[in-house]
Chain A
Amino acid sequence: MTDQTASNSHGTGPFIAAIDQGTTSSRCIVFDRDGRIVSVDQKEHEQILPKPGWVEHNAAEIWTNVQEVVAGAIQKAGIGRDDIKAIGITNQRETTLLWDKNTGEPVHNALVWQDTRTDALCKELGRNVGQDRFRRETGLPLASYFAGPKIRWLLDNVEGLRERAEAGDILFGTMDSWVIWNLTGGAQGGVHVTDVTNASRTMLMNLHTMKWDDKILTSMEVPAAVLPEIRSSAEVYGEVTGGPLGELLGGVPVASALGDQQAALFGQTCFAEGEAKSTYGTGTFMLINTGGKAINSYSGLLTTVGYQIGDNKPVYALEGSIAVTGSLVQWMRDQMGLINSAAEIETLASSVEDNGGAYFVPAFSGLFAPYWRSDARGVIAGLTRYVTKAHIARAVLEATAWQTREISDAMTKDSGVELTTLKVDGGMTSNNLLMQTLSDVLDAPVVRPMVAETTCLGAAYAAGLAVGFWPDTEALRANWRRAAEWTPRMDAETREREYKSWLKAVERTMGWLDDES
């Protein structure tokens, strides 16, 4: 992302700042009342890979970077504390940290959501029930992404930690909690909180009560003393206090926290039941607002909290993720060498009319939602002499579209709600052919909003609502601008035929590995 201190006019303030503590970098964006970007600052942090499958972050480095990017964005915007009405936070979800509440020192690097070291522990926790043991309470399957088992791993593996935790000297947090605790004073009175969306990814919160679940805490052997207080996604948690940021922004309310995908849902203003967004990056995350109902999924989706504004009732969501989308294009570029840049996939794919009969199912590490088959591996099906690299490029783009269709079908099956429109964001939305294909296979309009930074925008919106900068969600809807819309052009017969071929190709990926359970 480039420095976007646009020279053309934006409002004169006041403003809302949003911090996005992401997997590869931390950023801060300042927004004006119309939701336009005023300034951006960003800094990457180190990915620590101690062993295959292990991924860690240095939380002290992240906190330093967060302070730098906040100061940087404020400085680029040329504004001060009186112009900033609130700070909001969005973050990489599930990444787990434990720290000493007296010194503020992390006791270990943060275990990143991608880290798979808790695979065996998760199997063990499933006992005779399997990976759905806690699904009814938490909406999640036992998988290595989620925070609860990561806390357990740290308590079991860092010497003396369990004793210190039980003595009440240790705090747990996902990155929202870490950033808020530090912003509000750290060891000198920082508030130890998390929001419902982040808490819903720990596997420790009961989705129906929005409280930590004592039974699960006991099963996972996590002492309640380490846990933050669960709060709504949009309320004033505290004020910026102490440190260099205290000098710059002391007294500014810290007023929102949302996991990144939920923040994007909020930034896309999906406030009504049935509204959905899909974020197309290296992988893809699709969330649909299911209103006040936590819908149990029988199709391999996750049930999660969408957001909660202050004292209002929480709003739930169903989530489906696709592991390989943009990364398949990168694979075509880096491993196959068929294109020079990611954008060129569209040029290559556009040189032919259709896929020439070829289908590409990128089950590189198994099939995810709605199949969950770890014994599957990638397949290119339907090859004939006629097929060229351009047809394969087309099949690559179609793979993202069909996988979205499968998630969307699963959502309809679970919730009974038909998708009316899909709001999209993320890097791949610059691919016109993909967006058209998506609309064709979903048989629904696909719309792209004008502000691409929906994640930060969502955090800013929630913080702004909490301090009355925006009056209500209707005002936020009024800010939403359609930048582009793609409508279906494919006839029903073709769509059904192609979907059938795709599903046949998917079938051929399964059972490739012999000994995987």
Chain B
Amino acid sequence: MARNIQSLERAAAVLRLLAGGERRLGLSDIATALGLAKGTAHGILRTLQQEGFVEQDPASGRYQLGAELLRLGNSYLDVHELRARALVWTDDLARASGESAYLGVLHQQGVLIVHHVFRPDDSRQVLEVGAMQPLHSTALGKVLAAYDPVAHSELVESERGSFTVHTVTGLGRIETTLDLIRARGYATDIEETWEGVASVAAPIHDRRRMPVGAVGVTGAVERVCKESEPLPGLIASVRDCARAVSRDLGASRF
């Protein structure tokens, strides 16, 4: 049997000590109760504090449990909350880019479209909220697979269909692409899912830097790309939008 890690055991003991009711304890109380040197206890508390599991009362200097513990048990972000937060930013993205904007989250083995803003040209368009898209070929799907390990394992295990001559289905090439996406911060889909259609997408993170979704634009390849690369201005708009939504999620959760 593997040896337990002593510092983790001690951290758990500190949390147990602080748990229950409105308990606030000073450093020496904690050190004494656990039989630790003050310096050791302080190191543990400081680390827990950085992670948000412990908070220090500025006035008394005493410690108490942090809000992050509450979040642990209740950490998933409701997709409708995500849509509500993203609304103004995705409207602006559609306006700035002149293309339709989509917000997607991982659902089972694909991307669930949770929000869709029409292309701002008065043409007839149908709301695609609730539709599913593949993980391996779409920009939204690739972003999710690049940043969210759960999405990645779904992609690996899923059946990867070929939709156009450009669809990449081999795992080796997909992994190379995912590395590139992580390095660049955005993903593309140039006629890999639909003939004549290209998209760009970027990741949305919550306040703990956990990937919670992807946002992107989709349009005719002739408008979205130049020399088989998406227009730099379009990429910037998508990334700006993703950052704005992420900031909104970080600023206001709890």
Question: Which residues of B in the span 101-128 have a Cβ within 8 Å of any Cβ on A?
Answer: 115-118, 120, 122, 125, 127
Check A344–B78 contact: CB distance below 8 A. Answer: yes
Looking at chain B, what size class is its interface with the partner chain? 20 to 34
The answer on a CB contact under 8 Å between A483 and B96 is no
How far is B82's CA from A347's CA once the two chains are assembled, in angstroms? 12
Question: In B224-249, which residues have CB < 8 Å from any A CB?
Answer: 233, 236-237, 240, 244, 247-248
The answer to whether A6 has its CB under 8 Å from any CB of chain B is: yes
Majority secondary structure of chain B interface residues (helix, strand, loop or mixed):
helix
Chain B CB within 8 A of A451 CB: yes
The answer to the question of A430 belonging to the interface, with a C-beta cut-off of 8 Å to chain B, is yes
Decide: B78 and A485 in contact? CB cutoff 8 A.
Answer: no
A452 within 8 A of B: yes
Interface flag for A188 (CB, 8 Å): no
Asked, given contacts A343-B81, A431-B80, A450-B117, whether A485 binds B248 with beta carbons under 8 Å apart, the answer is no
Interface SS of A by simple majority: loop
Is the CB–CB distance between A343 and B78 below 8 Å? yes
Q: Is the CB of A8 within 8 A of B240?
A: yes
Question: A208: which B residues are within 8 A, CB to CB?
Answer: none
Q: Which residues of A in the span 1-51 have a Cβ within 8 Å of any Cβ on B?
A: 2, 4, 6-9, 34, 36-37
Q: Which residues of B are found within 8 Å of A484, using beta-carbon distances?
A: 116-118, 127
Q: Does A504 contact B (CB under 8 A)?
A: no
B residues less than 8 Å from A451 (CB atoms): 91
Query: Once the chains bind, are A9 and B96 in contact (CB under 8 Å)?
Result: yes
> Quick check: A450 and B95 within 8 Å, CB to CB?
yes
Q: Which B residues are CB-close (under 8 A) to A494?
A: none
Pairwise interchain contact A483-B91, C-beta atoms closer than 8 A: yes
Distance to closest chain A CB from B99 (angstroms): 13
Q: Within 8 Å of chain B (Cβ to Cβ): is A482?
A: yes
Count residues of chain A with CB under 8 A from any CB of chain B. Answer: 31
User: Cβ of A346 < 8 Å from any Cβ of B?
Assistant: yes
A75 CB within 8 Å of chain B: no
- Taking a contact as CB atoms under 8 Å apart, the answer to whether B78 and A347 are in contact is yes
User: B131: CB under 8 A from chain A?
Assistant: no
Residue of B nearest to A339 (CB): B78
CB–CB A341/B127 < 8 A: no
Candidates A343, A432, A485; contact of B118 at CB < 8 Å: A485
A4 and B244 alpha carbons, distance in the complex (Å): 9
Write out the residue numbers on chain A whose beta carbons fall within 8 Å of the beta carbon of B120: 450, 481-483
A472 and B89 alpha carbons, distance in the complex (Å): 29
Answer whether residue A486 sits at the interface, using C-beta atoms and an 8 A cutoff.
yes
**Pairwise interchain contact B116-A482, C-beta atoms closer than 8 A:** no
A sample of 9 cross-chain residue pairs with beta-carbon separation below 8 angstroms, ordered by A number, consists of A2-B247, A9-B233, A34-B95, A340-B78, A347-B79, A429-B87, A430-B84, A432-B115, A432-B129
| Top 6 closest pairs, chain A to chain B, by CB | A343-B80, A343-B81, A481-B120, A430-B84, A346-B80, A343-B84
